[in-house]
Amino acid sequence: MIELNSEIKQVLNEIDFVKRYEALSNEYNDLINGVNGEFFGHAYPPGYSLEPGSADEPFLSKMGQKRSSVWGDSGNGWSPFGDAPWSTTQVCEQIRREQMARFYENRSMIRLENRNEQ
């Protein structure tokens, strides 16, 4: 174990380091264990690429989720990714299929409504 000098100990006490560390550790564990629901995505600051960072895919995999997204001001505003580099293409295809299914389902419902009005 590392022995800290008294000045470092004093500073750590002043900023409540132990309490902050415990709180962050608890939040991290809750997120990993899905206590507050799923991790749907995260945002990058303006001007950053929407490519997932090097820790995004392993983190997603650790949570047992198959897909998430990065949000920002580049491109179309968001970029989905999978839990592994090779699964991102599959995730994008799945999202496209879901969008098309909703689109055609909505069109079918509109046609039915128009028939019922006549």
Interval 50-98: pLDDT, tens: 888 888 888 888 888 888 888 888 777 888 888 887 788 888 888 889 8
**pLDDT higher than threshold 80 for residue 99:** yes
Secondary structure (H, E, C), 37-72? CCCCCEECCCCCCCCCCCCHHHHHHHCCCCEEEEEC
Say yes or no: 70 and 92 in one domain: yes
pLDDT score, position 48: 85
pLDDT score, position 110: 63
With residues binned 3-state (H G I as helix, E B as strand, rest as coil), the percentages for the chain, rounded to 5, are 55, 10, 35
Say yes or no: 48 and 16 in one domain: no
Under the banding of pLDDT at 50, 70 and 90, the label for residue 49 is: confident
| Residue 50, domain extent | 43-117
What distance in Å separates the CA atoms of residue 60 and residue 78, rounded to the nearest whole number? 17
pLDDT score, position 68: 86
**pLDDT higher than threshold 60 for residue 1:** no
Report the domain count for the chain.
2
For residues 3-22, give the mean pLDDT: 80
For residues 39-49, give the mean pLDDT: 81
Say yes or no: 75 and 26 in one domain: no
Measure CA 61 to chain center: 11
